[in-house]
Structure 1
Amino acid sequence: MTDKNHWQLLETEKYTCPTPAPVTWLQLLWRRWLQTLGVKQQHEFSAQDLQDITEIPDVSSLAAQSAFASYLAKQEQVHSEVHFLVDPPFSGTAAMARSWAWQQGRVLLSPPTADQITQCAVDTWWQQQAYQGTAWLIDDLARYFLRTPQGLAFIRVWRARVLAGEFGAGLVVCDSWAFAFLRRDWPLTMPSSHCLAPTSTSLLQQVGITGSHRQLAHLSGEARGNLGVAWALWRCKYLQQQTVPSLPVAANDTTAFILYTLLLHRGLSGAELQAVLSNVSGTELKMQLLRLVELGIIIYESEHWRVTAIAYGVVREFLAGRDYLLDDF
């Protein structure tokens, strides 16, 4: 553990994603040979390294909230209206924002209903909010649209109006995949967008993950600087000695459509997923979902299908290989 606070935020264009050092085919063969012999490499963790960390990093901790509040206070002195906070999957950014908003007394706006989205009823949505002139928080912008012919008009009208200041000052938390999609769909530059800084070895140590600098740097790179993914890899791959899930050889275009849609919307119900993937039969969709659950790629909880943290890197790499629009994280 360390006394210095290593939680940081920055502007999204300043984010630099850490990545593991490239591996040649010869190095890959050598690693597999060492694994066969049971020899650990320098970046791997021993049993002694894995004793302390058992709980997910607390984004509501005093250190995390202090860094969050300090950064946003400075930004609001420069820009008084709407700020966007980009939230990579499993990063904990939205939870951090909710904790901060509660302490600040900000109003948490509720997302539009399915009917409001399809009817583009932005005024009806706004009239239902408990807004009294104070700054507000939207904690998940992915709930404000559905990638269907009728599901995008609401977010387009809402975005133009919120950026024009019609709804006052606020903080919008937007999933990184949704942010990439909406940014491509918007002809103007998205203003004042921010994110958590990539997880450093010092932050990993601060939240209780111990190891040498080389080990922690490898873990951070493997997780692409995402603290939640790093923790999942630590728990499953190293602590519990589980194999990271992999997609089957038979994974096809439908598999890719499903996984991209789940990331774009940060999880969907079965009915919502079928609406977005209307060209996929119900039987095929159900079979694909059940197979992905069996492999540990996705999970079904709270009546929504979602990609798992431990499989996130595998899914992202799979979509990259098929030229999907990726997030920047």
Structure 2
Amino acid sequence: MGEQPSSADTPLWAVVELDQFRTPEQTQASQWRRSFRSASTWLVGKNSAEQQVKEEHELRALPEVRLAHLVPPIDWAPAARALAQQLKGQQALVTFFITPPHSGHVSVVSQWAEQHHFACLPPPTLSELAEGDTQWVERCANQREWAVPALERYFLRHTQGIQGVREFLERALSGRLGQGVIGCDSWAYAYLQEVVGIEGAPVFTLQSMEGEQLSQYFAKIATHEGQSPLVYSTRTGKPVLTESATQHGDKAPNKELQRLAAHCRGHIGLAWHYWRERLREPTADDEEALWLVDALAEAELSTDTGDIATLVLHALLVHGGLDDHSLGKVLPFSHHEALNARLALQRKGIVSSSEGRWQITPLSYASVRQLLESRNYLVDPL
């Protein structure tokens, strides 16, 4: 067997077929650590669970203006170009591009569609989904080159709510709707694969990033006048970014970011949120370096999370987020119980509202996914 290419040789934005996706090194160990940390926190308290070189009370959050310069929003254009390269040789009429929550499939497919003059199909209304109205599928027949940036917006998980997307996918996969590219949340994809069947259509995703690639990316977006900032880990006291670590003689500069990569399963969208949320500056004005507070600190999800809360979390993931009204429609208990469970999760910081929908927060996603997997729920392939 030939040697595997190192992460330094791998492009930052690589689009691969789904079966070629690989989680970063140490991902399994990261899950064990997360379980151990949760138990340690419960036994000895959050502050004692893991010792820090630099305590958080010595640091403060960065001003929003500075943070916007150091960690600007992700530019998904390179991923859209990588997708375009993959689609060049494709003969299939319909192709899927999937990512987990907060990881860019909507932006990537939207940008690709705009560049290639494919029309983005509007999603059905909530009333159409609730009533099982399939008229929106007929509207799609007017386009022969089309894109769906977010298929998770095209169904609700109940008898009426699945009818339209079932018909749409049957027509699309049979070639009756022409050529299309479908962006889809990985959890919605797993669900639709189970209940509708999407065999035969090529599926692409972003390849995971290792710690070294995260280091390159975070250094690049923060570089000013040729200099990337000095960022130290509060956990180890060592430089985090590759260039500054090398200057300090550290031969293993990416250990902290490899830990983050494993925790996020290599998904840049999730890692970006951790990086942005956890950067700090010293309270002392004479210090210039930045600090990354424990990158894996997250909203704690108790191991004894109840069945109702667990079902709420799974429903939110399968649909890529839901409003309260729709959430009540897809759960096997009363709207009052669903609302109470959602409120409890909101208070714990596990869910938050974005664009009118309740979603799993980026920093809670890893622990939520692990909980659902441990309880044998249907989980995503990424």
Q: TM-score by structure 2 length?
A: 0.72
Q: 2:13–2:79: 8 Å Cα contact kept in structure 1? A: yes
Structure 1 pair 170/202, CA: closer, same or farther in 2 (3 Å)? Answer: farther
Q: Deviating runs (4+, > 6 A) in structure 1?
A: none
AA at the equivalent of 2:255: R
AA at the equivalent of 1:321: S
Q: 1:20–1:218: 8 Å Cα contact kept in structure 2? A: no
Unaligned runs of 5+ in 1: 41-46
Q: 2:23–2:265: 8 Å Cα contact kept in structure 1? A: yes
* Counterpart position of 2:257: 216
AA at the equivalent of 2:187: W
AA at the equivalent of 1:12: L
Deviation at 1:187, TM superposition (A): 5.0
Q: Secondary structure at the match of 1:244?
A: coil
AA at the equivalent of 2:101: P
Structure 1 pair 286/7, CA: closer, same or farther in 2 (3 Å)? Answer: same
Q: CA separation in 2, counterparts of 1:34 and 1:285?
A: 33
* Counterpart position of 1:232: 273
Q: Does 1:259 align with 2:313?
A: yes
RMSD between superposed Cα atoms in Å? 3.1
Q: CA separation in 2, counterparts of 1:127 and 1:158?
A: 9
Q: 2:79–2:206: 8 Å Cα contact kept in structure 1? A: no
Q: CA separation in 1, counterparts of 2:197 and 2:314?
A: 23
Q: Does 1:114 align with 2:126?
A: yes
Q: CA separation in 2, counterparts of 1:24 and 1:118?
A: 42
Q: Does 1:245 align with 2:299?
A: yes
Unaligned runs of 5+ in 2: 1-7, 41-46, 220-240, 243-252, 281-291
Give the one of 8, 12, 16 matched to 1:6: 12
AA at the equivalent of 1:214: K
Q: What is the identity percentage for the equivalent residue pairs of Structure 1 and Structure 2?
A: 29
1:123-150 Cα deviation digits (max 9, x unpaired): x2144349443x2110111111111122
AA at the equivalent of 1:308: T
Structure 1 pair 167/245, CA: closer, same or farther in 2 (3 Å)? Answer: same
Q: Does 1:308 align with 2:356?
A: no
Deviation at 1:324, TM superposition (A): 0.6
Q: Secondary structure at the match of 2:110?
A: helix
Q: CA separation in 2, counterparts of 1:56 and 1:71?
A: 25
* Counterpart position of 2:50: 35
AA at the equivalent of 2:81: S
Q: CA separation in 2, counterparts of 1:173 and 1:321?
A: 27
Structure 1 pair 148/130, CA: closer, same or farther in 2 (3 Å)? Answer: closer
Q: Secondary structure at the match of 1:172?
A: strand
1:302-321 Cα deviation digits (max 9, x unpaired): 32111111110111112122
Deviation at 1:174, TM superposition (A): 1.3
Q: Secondary structure at the match of 2:50?
A: helix
Q: Secondary structure at the match of 1:173?
A: strand
Q: CA separation in 1, counterparts of 2:269 and 2:192?
A: 24
Matches within 5 A, 1:99-178: 99-122=111-134, 124-129=135-140, 131-133=142-144, 135-178=145-188
* Counterpart position of 1:293: 346
* Counterpart position of 2:85: 70
Structure 1 pair 296/78, CA: closer, same or farther in 2 (3 Å)? Answer: same
AA at the equivalent of 2:29: A
Larger radius of gyration, structure 1 or 2? 2
* Counterpart position of 2:76: 59
Deviation at 1:119, TM superposition (A): 4.9
AA at the equivalent of 2:83: F
Deviation at 1:285, TM superposition (A): 2.4
* Counterpart position of 1:87: 99
Deviation at 1:249, TM superposition (A): 5.8
Deviation at 1:4, TM superposition (A): 8.3
1:234-271 Cα deviation digits (max 9, x unpaired): 22345474741012466200000100000000011111
AA at the equivalent of 2:199: T
Q: CA separation in 1, counterparts of 2:319 and 2:312?
A: 11
Structure 1 pair 82/288, CA: closer, same or farther in 2 (3 Å)? Answer: same
Q: 1:6–1:202: 8 Å Cα contact kept in structure 2? A: no
Q: 1:145–1:154: 8 Å Cα contact kept in structure 2? A: yes
Q: 2:92–2:201: 8 Å Cα contact kept in structure 1? A: no
Structure 1 pair 100/187, CA: closer, same or farther in 2 (3 Å)? Answer: closer
Q: 1:107–1:130: 8 Å Cα contact kept in structure 2? A: no
Deviation at 1:289, TM superposition (A): 1.7
